[in-house]
Structures are given as C-alpha cells and as structure tokens.
Amino acid sequence: MADATKYADLGLVNTRDMFKKAMDGGYAVPAYNFNNMEQLQAIVVACAETRSPVILQVSSGARKYANQTLLKYMAMGAVEMVREMGANIPIALHLDHGDTFELCKSCIDSGFSSVMIDGSHHSFEKNIELTRQVVEYAHPRDVTVEGELGVLAGIEDEVSSEVSHYTKPEEVEEFVKKTGCDSLAISIGTSHGAFKFKPGQPVPPLRFDILKECEKRLPGFPIVLHGASSVIPEYVEMINKYGGKMEGAVGVPEEQLRKAAKSAVCKINIDSDGRLGVTAVIRKVFVEKPSEFDPRKYLGPAREELVKMIKHKNENVLGSANRA
Ligand code: G3H
Ligand code: 13P
Ligand code: ZN
C-alpha cells in the first residue's frame, strides 16, 4: 500500500483555527463543493481575490467522478496557484457526507485535512459509535471531524431522505462529549438541492430557535449549516429562459444566511448555487451561439460567473471576505 499523504505537505490546513476565528469574528467560512477543474479554479480564485478562508468540499460522488488521485493533485495544484497569485489564504480539503469509517480513513490517508462522518441516518447510539471511530483515526493525524445530528430533507450524497428531522438540542452535548468531534452539522429546516421550500411561502421556516438552543448548550462550539444555497432566482430564471425546466426552485434567503453566519454557525455549505450558475451560463451560450463547439467558450464564461457568485457570497452573505 502506498504511504499516506500528509495534508500539510499539500499546503492544506485543518478547520480548527478557521472556525475559532470565524466564531470570534461573527462570520462563517464557506465550504464550496467541486467536481472539476473549472469549479476548483473559480473557488480558489474568488477566495484568493476576496481574501477569504475556504473549505474545498468533495462528496463521495465527486470522488468517484473525478478520481481520488487526481483530486488530491488538483487540490495541491490549487494551493500552489493561490500562492503564485500572492494570496495567503487558509485552504482545507474536506470530505462532504462521508458515510463509512473506511471512506473517511481513505480520504485522510490521501491528504484530506478534514472529514465529515454523516451518521445521521443511524440511531443516536450508532451515530456516536461511528463518529467516535472516525475521530480516533483522525485526531492523531490532526485531521478535524464534522459530525451530524438531525436529518436534512433532500439528497445527502447518495442517501436521500423524504422528510427532515430537526436536530434535538437535548442530544447535542452528549454527542459532542462522547464523540470528540470538532464541529456539528445540525438540521434546522434547510435541505439539499434546488427545491427547498414551497414557492411563494413568504418566509421560509428556518428554526433559529433550535440553533439558539444548540448554541446555548455548546458554548463556543462550531455549528455547520448544510443545504444553504439561496437557489439564486436570476439563475433559475435564466435556466428557464434558455430551455431549462426548473419551475418552483427556491432556496434559503440570503438575509437568513447572514443572520446564521453571525451566530455559532462557522461553516456554510454551498453546492447547488454553483451548479445553477454554471448551467444557466452554458444554456445561454448554447442558445445564443448554436454553432459553438469549443468547450472553453462555454466553460470559460461559466467559470467567470462562478467567480462572481462566490465573491458575492463571501463579501455579502457569509462575511468571510478579508478575514484570511
Ligand atoms: O450534500 C450534497 C452535495 O451537494 C454533494 O452532492 O453527492 O451529488 O456530489 P453530490
Ligand atoms: P445545497 O444543495 O443547498 O448547495 O447544499 C450543499 C451541501 O449541504 C453540501 O453538503
Ligand atoms: Zn450537505
């Protein structure tokens, strides 16, 4: 078996220090998912240009899609590219929704600096046992671990859930104490994907009371918000205008994310907004320039849009700009 890769040798950092600063500074660190070169370039360029710390997030599906070895070198290349830009921002490489100990171990051994073990579909006891097992492997290697309590509706990697179960605040202290995890994802009404709430619902019902109660029971402990895309209406309109079909797609309003970022929420996960932006731009190019067949002519503008979107999130929603 090949020797394990140490994340520090790739120029990566874990999330401990990032979260401490985010907690003290009242902002959230962005965690953007990537599957390909254009997404990765956009994320690191936008974060370097806004001087934001960043968590590069890889799901098990992304790992299968892009190849685990290639991904590691892509992350390493991204770190190097950022240095060449003269930017000095902390970059973490994080496994999103790891569902087994073996997957988390494999990511840690291949250079990830942080992993999520999502045992939220198991019983409370089994979730604790699984999360503890990952922590015991991760901590001696100085890799940070995110656990989850409560189930989000929508697709969580390859596990889909029809219904959400809010996090029970009375469980969080025991979970954190028994597992030793470094951060905790909670369920307060957000969900994965582009259809989070009923269209026309005046204020999406996020349970800030549950967040507050978790904060009270875990003072100073980093909370993570999944399913936090705003499903940017301009992108949905563009997609529908240029031949797509995404009627009724609705996300979390930006004001609510701003409010969450000021609390103990130290990490906000965004994937769907990036997917929507890329799809909207590519659709537009295909309609306006039907004879174009050079992928750079549609992936390039899609990448530019992604840079714009991420800068906006860092500056105006998460508050992570100029915090690196
Ligand atoms: O939480 C799910 C993420 O958006 C990743 O999605 O499993 O399709 O890569 P994926
Ligand atoms: P969105 O689908 O809202 O972007 O959520 C992404 C996410 O939580 C990744 O773990
Ligand atoms: Zn998620």
- Domain boundaries of the chain, sorted by first residue: 7-316
- Read off the pLDDT of residues 12-54 as tens digits, 9 standing for 90 and up: 999 999 999 999 999 999 999 999 999 999 999 999 999 999 9
Q: What is the pTM of this model?
A: 0.96
Buried b (16+ CB within 10 A) or exposed e, 158-192: eeebeebebbbbebbeebbebbebbbbbbbbbbbb
DSSP 286: H
Separation CA 244–CA 242 (nearest Å) = 6
User: What residue owns the CA closest to ligand 1's atom 3?
Assistant: 157
CA of 97 to the centre of ligand 1 (A): 8
Residue 159's pLDDT is 45
CA of 157 to the centre of ligand 2 (A): 10
CA of 31 to the centre of ligand 3 (A): 10
Give residues (CB < 6 A) around ligand 1.
33, 59, 61-62, 96-97, 156-157, 192, 271
User: What are the backbone dihedrals phi and psi of residue 221, each rounded to the nearest 5 degrees, phi first?
Assistant: -95, 135
Residue pLDDT tens, the chain, 324 long: 567 999 999 999 999 999 999 999 999 999 999 999 999 999 999 999 999 999 999 999 999 999 999 998 999 999 999 999 999 999 999 999 999 999 999 999 999 999 999 999 999 999 999 999 999 999 999 999 999 999 987 654 444 455 568 999 999 999 999 999 999 999 999 999 999 988 877 777 789 999 999 999 999 999 999 999 999 999 999 999 999 999 999 999 999 999 999 999 999 999 999 999 999 999 999 999 999 999 999 999 999 999 999 999 999 999 999 999
Residue type, 159: V
- Contact (CB, 8 A) for 78 and 115: no
User: What are the backbone dihedrals phi and psi of residue 225, each rounded to the nearest 5 degrees, phi first?
Assistant: -115, 115
Q: Which of 260, 273, 313, 251 is nearest to 22 (CA)?
A: 260
Residue type, 84: E
Which of 36, 40, 59 for a ligand 1 pocket mutation test, highest count of atoms within 8 Å of Cβ? 59
Ligand nearest to the CA of 31: 2
Residue 201's pLDDT is 75
- Contact (CB, 8 A) for 92 and 101: no
Q: Which of 76, 29, 11 is nearest to 228 (CA)?
A: 29
Helix, coil or strand: residue 123: coil
CA of 56 to the centre of ligand 1 (A): 13
- Does 96 contact ligand 2 (Cβ within 6 A)? yes
- Does 229 contact ligand 2 (Cβ within 6 A)? yes
- Does 193 contact ligand 2 (Cβ within 6 A)? yes
The neighbour count for residue 46, using CB atoms within 10 Å, is: 24
- Token code pair at residue 18: 């990032």
User: What residue owns the CA closest to ligand 2's atom 3?
Assistant: 227
- Read off the pLDDT of residues 239-256 as tens digits, 9 standing for 90 and up: 999 999 999 999 999 999
User: Exposed, middle or buried: residue 287 (CB in 10 Å: 0-12, 13-18, 19+)?
Assistant: exposed
Residue type, 206: L
Residue 206's pLDDT is 86
Ligand nearest to the CA of 229: 2
- Token code pair at residue 289: 């320039």
User: Exposed, middle or buried: residue 49 (CB in 10 Å: 0-12, 13-18, 19+)?
Assistant: middle
Strands (E), 199-253: 223-225
Residue 197's pLDDT is 87
User: What residue owns the CA closest to ligand 2's atom 1?
Assistant: 227
Task: Name the CATH superfamily for 7-316.
Answer: Aldolase class I (3.20.20.70)
- Does 277 contact ligand 2 (Cβ within 6 A)? no
CA of 304 to the centre of ligand 3 (A): 25
The minimum-distance atom of ligand 2 relative to the CA of 194 is: 2
Catalytically active residues are 96
Separation CA 222–CA 290 (nearest Å) = 48
Separation CA 260–CA 127 (nearest Å) = 25
- Read off the pLDDT of residues 116-145 as tens digits, 9 standing for 90 and up: 999 999 999 999 999 999 999 999 999 999
